[in-house]
Amino acid sequence: MSFWYVYVLRSSKDHDFYVGSTNNLKRRMQQHQRGENISTAKRLPVELMFFEGHRSKDDALRREKYFKTTKGRTTLRQMLRGSLESKM
């Protein structure tokens, strides 16, 4: 059984979110931490704040797209309210 993951990283440098998707979360996190992703390389270090698994790549991509909208980012901040407050 394989899953596709939607994940949310938070930069310790600018405190902003990065949302992505992958079928191998462990490998993808290692790539981010090594600076191999152009979108996060200058924002290191990043921390994994949230992830969810989907059986379908299409479902994961749909959810990723939602989290990148204004409403989706608001939803993320509400979902992660406790975690974000403890980091401040």
All domains in the chain, ordered by first residue = 4-82 (3.40.1440.10)
pLDDT at residue 85, as a whole number? 82
How far apart CA 11 and CA 14 sit, in angstroms, is 6
pLDDT at residue 86, as a whole number? 74
pTM score: 0.92
pLDDT at residue 87, as a whole number? 64
pLDDT at residue 45, as a whole number? 96
- Low pLDDT (below 50) residues in the chain: none
Instruction: Judge contact between 12 and 1, C-beta under 8 A.
Output: no
pLDDT at residue 83, as a whole number? 87
